[in-house]
């Protein structure tokens, strides 16, 4: 039952983008096309899950025993950067089209605060390794859900005639606010 609550809470109730406002840069930048959003979601899911496992192990078996928890943030950033480089190399070889579609946003995963935020939240919430993995997968699924929904709405809005004053980013921000309010409807579920 605990894992079910973690999943529902991370995807809907405490959505990392729409409720906690982490990862806004890729949320607004990559969400113009559904295909790119799905690719970004998959990359974030992979990196977030692996990064959470690595940072959990690093914290529990290196930082805490040596009593150097003050190195947490910098060590997590180094782990995440290394993992993103690995994903970039793999994507370049396996799917050059996805690599080209993600363009500059793939290196942005390195500084994506959702990944660092989840790694830190896992330690703050004192989760075990399995709970941490479930939380990371669920949080990245929530990130992906928000990203794909937002991309679908933006693709649809591109087909409509809008007043010149709200074309582009103003419309995107209005839609993001409406999505955040819609997800607030899930609060109180868990």
Cα dihedral value 19, 176, 25, 82, nearest 10 = 50
Tell me the average pLDDT across 161-165: 88
Nearest to 11 by CA among 186, 188, 173, 130: 186
d(CA 190, CA 142): 15
Q: What is the mean pLDDT of the chain?
A: 88
Burial of 107 (0-12, 13-18, 19+ CB in 10 A): middle
3-state secondary structure of 25: helix
Q: What is the pLDDT of residue 103?
A: 65
pLDDT of residue 118: 95
Q: What is the pTM of this model?
A: 0.87
Give tens-digit pLDDT for 5-41.
999 999 999 999 999 989 888 888 777 889 888 888 8
- pLDDT for residue 3 is more than 90: yes
- For residue 25, the tally of other CB atoms under 10 A from its CB is 14
Question: pLDDT tens across 117-154, in order?
Answer: 999 999 999 999 999 999 999 999 999 999 999 999 99
Q: What percentage of the chain's residues is helix, strand, coil (to nearest 5)?
A: 75, 0, 25
Task: Tell me 33's DSSP state.
Answer: S
- Burial zone of 83 (CB within 10 Å; 0-12 exposed, 13-18 middle, 19+ buried): buried
């Amino acid at each position: 039952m605990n894992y079910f609550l973690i999943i529902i809470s991370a995807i809907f109730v405490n959505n990392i983008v729409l409720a906690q406002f982490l990862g806004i840069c890729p949320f607004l930048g990559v969400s113009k096309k559904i295909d790119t959003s799905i690719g970004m979601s998959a990359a974030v899911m992979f990196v977030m899950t692996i990064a959470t496992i690595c940072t959990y192990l690093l914290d529990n078996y290196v930082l805490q025993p040596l009593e150097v928890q003050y190195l947490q943030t910098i060590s997590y950033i180094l782990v995440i950067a290394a993992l993103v480089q690995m994903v970039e190399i793999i994507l370049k070889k396996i799917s050059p089209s996805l690599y080209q579609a993600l363009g500059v946003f793939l290196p942005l995963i390195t500084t994506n605060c959702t990944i660092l935020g989840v790694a830190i939240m896992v330690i703050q919430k004192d989760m075990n390794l399995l709970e941490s993995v479930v939380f990371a997968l669920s949080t990245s699924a929530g990130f992906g859900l928000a990203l794909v929904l937002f991309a679908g709405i933006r693709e649809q809005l591109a087909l409509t005639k809008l007043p010149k004053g709200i074309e582009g980013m103003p419309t995107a921000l209005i839609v993001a606010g409406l999505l955040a309010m819609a997800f607030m409807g899930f609060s109180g579920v868990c």
